[in-house]
A and B are shown apart, each in its own frame.
Chain A
Amino acid sequence: MQSLDGIKFAEMVQMGAHHLFQNANYVDSLNVFPVPDGDTGTNMNLSMTSGAKETEQYASEHIGKTAQALSKGLLMGARGNSGVILSQLFRGFGKSIEKEATIDAKGFAGAFQAGVETAYKAVMKPVEGTILTVAREAAKKGVEVAETETDIIAVMEAFTAEAQASLQRTPELLPVLKEVGVVDSGGQGLLFVYEGFLASLKGEPLPVKNEATLDDLINAEHHRAQDFMNTMDIEFGYCTEIMVRFEEGKEPFSEEQFRNELNPLGDSLLVISDEEIAKVHIHSEQPGAVLAMGQKYGSLIKIKVDNMREQHSAIVGEDHKAPSSAKKAEKHPYAIVTIAMGEGVAELLRSIGASYVIEGGQTMNPSTEDIVKAVQEIGAEKVLILPNNKNIVMAAEQAVELLDIEAAVVPTKTIPQGMAAILSFNPEAAVEMNQATMTEAFANVKTGQVTYAVRDTSIDGVEIHKDDFMALAEGKIVLSTPALKDAAEKVITDLVDEDAEIVTVIYGEDTTEENASELVKFIEENYPEVEVELFNGKQGLYPYIISVE
């Protein structure tokens, strides 16, 4: 073909738009840049469709006029970054052949080059590895080939091949693409348009999408998923990929039916298939069911199942909690959320009325976000937050600001204070009311703790040696001694006075029930008038937490 007129060009545009339309979803799925919102294909398709419509309406033998129509249609319908770029590419294209009735190979290649130049003028800082790169490199190749080649089809062939090659190079230029393992979505969209042009020129059917692209789809899907998720939010925990080879005697395969069957099992579903094989990717809680479903149609020739919670924790570096416990959290319209370390302590707090106990304490403070999440999880409408540690009070106060429900912090600094506060909770009273009464209630509680020293030091005039047990009464170190028993007894003698009525001893992982019982005996012998309660808190770091009220 030596020359191209407007009618033929209009056909090319239709074919290009059609090819893009068919693959719009695929282009969407590649979208990770500039904003990973998965709309590149949709946007480009809408832009191109508008261009094609205008071209169809005003197509003329005069190629300059046809190209102008395309340019106008694209401009009016431009959507998204890539749509705007597409419109610029063809604006330059149209402008350079404005006065031509027909164009030859040189003119054709030159028009693409002009389009690229126009497109680059409209951007301050062109980012390479995008649709712009693909357009530029392809146009350059086209111009080179057109120096000697006069056949327009041959030029378009070389041009499209270079666009394809350039697209494959985009991950080398744009780090985010490489990281995710996909090619640029806009570039891919442009390639579909060019492929449509070529198919139209050659009078051949449109190329079919290559199978290997499932990997791209999966990569992009995962990137989007991880980008916006916290480990706890992962609803479907297993990334399951299977490949099924269809067999005689099994159910005949229908992609749509299969898709519908799989859909209820999870999300991020991708299915592609040809006559012999289907490839499936899905995030599901029941990988077994997915395998069974695949087997209905044939034999499984490849299986891969990854636990995404594990992977994701590793990626984002956060402690993961299986959703089973979180999901089962009951709904509490008027809730008390508190923070404690140790299973036993948590159990104890729950038993006296805490709605939700966040695991945490001295060395592992929960973040504001953890607190907010806990409150949202139990569906509270009104909430009181008890930090039980002075280092968490601030995070709790911030959580209150973030929550759009009625919320207040009762600034408890120790577990016994938290317990006292919870016990005075009145479910009928307003949040502020409870905050006041609970704060008052815990003020009457005296707290003693026994913990061990991690290094030699001297605090409040007390010499402390590493591995010594420290007795803390109301947060002050009163004794440091190698004997746990001495430290615990010192706490008791310091805190218990004639007003004391109840002494609660919560013993931790670092001591035994026998030791704790002995301590109880010590209290009963020396202070016959007080009542003693003993709990196994299973907490670390603190062999004893003691409250006196």
Chain B
Amino acid sequence: MSIELNNEFGQIDISTDVLAQIAGGAAVECYGIVGMASKHQIRDGLTDILRKENFAKGVVIRKQNDDLHIDMYIIVSYGTKISEVAYQVQSKVKYTVDKTLGMSVKSVNIFVQGVRVAND
């Protein structure tokens, strides 16, 4: 699947994988996030953190009536204020997608799939 943009010169297709990479990349730069998780933790058997090339498994891009929605499955660090970390991810992802792709995102939904306790 891909997202289409039209302008007077023609059409631009952006693969959802690309969008997922960008959204995932923006998310993991946020403080308090230790990684992206798979959407289907059991099926994929990946209880662990996704590697960069698999970000798409933890980011779901949906297009509904021309609105763009992004679902993100993340793992956060124990001892942080999780609600705030999630909010930061939403804000950063929305901003980054808007900046780099010029698309406005209707919603960024965060699913906290895990908490990681740092060994201290």
Interface contact A367-B7, CB-CB below 8 Å: yes
User: Within 8 Å of chain A (Cβ to Cβ): is B30?
Assistant: yes
- The size of the chain A interface, using a CB distance under 8 A, is 35
Interface contact B120-A121, CB-CB below 8 Å: yes
CA distance A34 to B81 in the complex (A): 18
Nearest-neighbor residue (CB-CB) of A36 within chain B: B95
CA distance A87 to B88 in the complex (A): 15
Nearest-neighbor residue (CB-CB) of B93 within chain A: A35
User: Within 8 Å of chain B (Cβ to Cβ): is A302?
Assistant: no
Interface contact A117-B81, CB-CB below 8 Å: no
Interface contact A35-B80, CB-CB below 8 Å: no
- Within 1-39 of B, Cβ neighbours of A (below 8 Å) are at 6-8, 28-35
Interface contact A80-B120, CB-CB below 8 Å: no
Closest chain-A Cβ to B5's Cβ sits at a distance in Å of 10
Interface contact A85-B31, CB-CB below 8 Å: yes
Instruction: Please give, as numbers and ranges, the residues of chain A lying within 8 Å of B34 by CB-CB distance.
Output: 122-124
Question: Which residues from chain A sit less than 8 Å from chain B, CB to CB?
Answer: 34-35, 37, 75-76, 78-81, 83-85, 87-88, 91-92, 95, 117-118, 121-125, 127, 132, 365, 367-368, 391-392, 394-395, 398, 401
Chain A interface, >50% SS class: helix
User: Within 8 Å of chain A (Cβ to Cβ): is B84?
Assistant: yes
Interface contact A398-B79, CB-CB below 8 Å: no
Given contacts A84-B85, A398-B7, 8 further A-B contacts (CB under 8 A): A75-B80, A75-B81, A81-B30, A88-B31, A88-B80, A122-B32, A125-B28, A125-B29
* Most chain B C-beta atoms within 10 Å of own C-beta, residue among A81, A127, A368: A81
CA distance A525 to B25 in the complex (A): 74
Instruction: Please give, as numbers and ranges, the residues of chain B lying within 8 Å of A127 by CB-CB distance.
Output: 29
Instruction: Please give, as numbers and ranges, the residues of chain A lying within 8 Å of B62 by CB-CB distance.
Output: none
> 7 interchain pairs (CB within 8 A)?
A34-B92, A84-B31, A88-B32, A118-B118, A121-B120, A123-B31, A123-B34
* Most chain B C-beta atoms within 10 Å of own C-beta, residue among A35, A87, A91, A395: A35
Interface contact B95-A34, CB-CB below 8 Å: yes
Instruction: Please give, as numbers and ranges, the residues of chain B lying within 8 Å of A132 by CB-CB distance.
Output: 31
Given A34-B92, A367-B8, A123 and B33 contact (CB-CB distance below 8 Å): yes
Partner of A78, one of B84, B91, B118: B84
User: Within 8 Å of chain A (Cβ to Cβ): is B77?
Assistant: yes
CA distance A78 to B84 in the complex (A): 7
Given A34-B95, A391-B8, A394-B8, A122 and B29 contact (CB-CB distance below 8 Å): no
